[in-house]
Amino acid sequence: MHHVYIVRCADGSLYTGYARDPARRVAMHNSGRGARYTSGRRPVRLVYSESFDEAGDALRREYELKRWPRHRKEALIAARGRRPGRPGRAKRSS
């Protein structure tokens, strides 16, 4: 599985990334070995993820989300809790 994730940093900012294992990636961010952006904004907390079967699909979605303004990402994060059967993940398959 391939995942796109959003973490909320200690300063309230959002960071979007790609990972095969989002929980492990969040641990890397929190240890200071993740992205340069998050290293000075620890701790980070996973607030959203989507699963994909294909890496290309996940990377395209990551690119799309990175281009979204903050208010749109916040709406996506808030909406995830309102989707029955999808607690924090929206699985997309080819």
pLDDT for the residue numbered 68: 98
Residue 21 resides in a domain: yes
The CATH number of the domain holding residue 52 is 3.40.1440.10
Residue 88 resides in a domain: no
Residue 19 resides in a domain: yes
What's the sign of the alpha-carbon dihedral 39, 11, 61, 20? positive
pLDDT tens by residue, 4-13: 999 999 999 9
pLDDT for the residue numbered 80: 83
2 phi and psi, to 5 degrees?
-120, 140
Enclosing domain of residue 72? 2-80
Residue 51 resides in a domain: yes
Number of domains in the chain: 1
CA 67/CA 16 separation, integer angstroms: 10
Q: Please, are residues 51 and 10 in contact by the beta-carbon 8 Å criterion?
A: no
pLDDT tens by residue, 34-61: 899 999 999 999 999 999 999 999 999 9
Q: Rounded to two decimals, what is the model's pTM?
A: 0.84
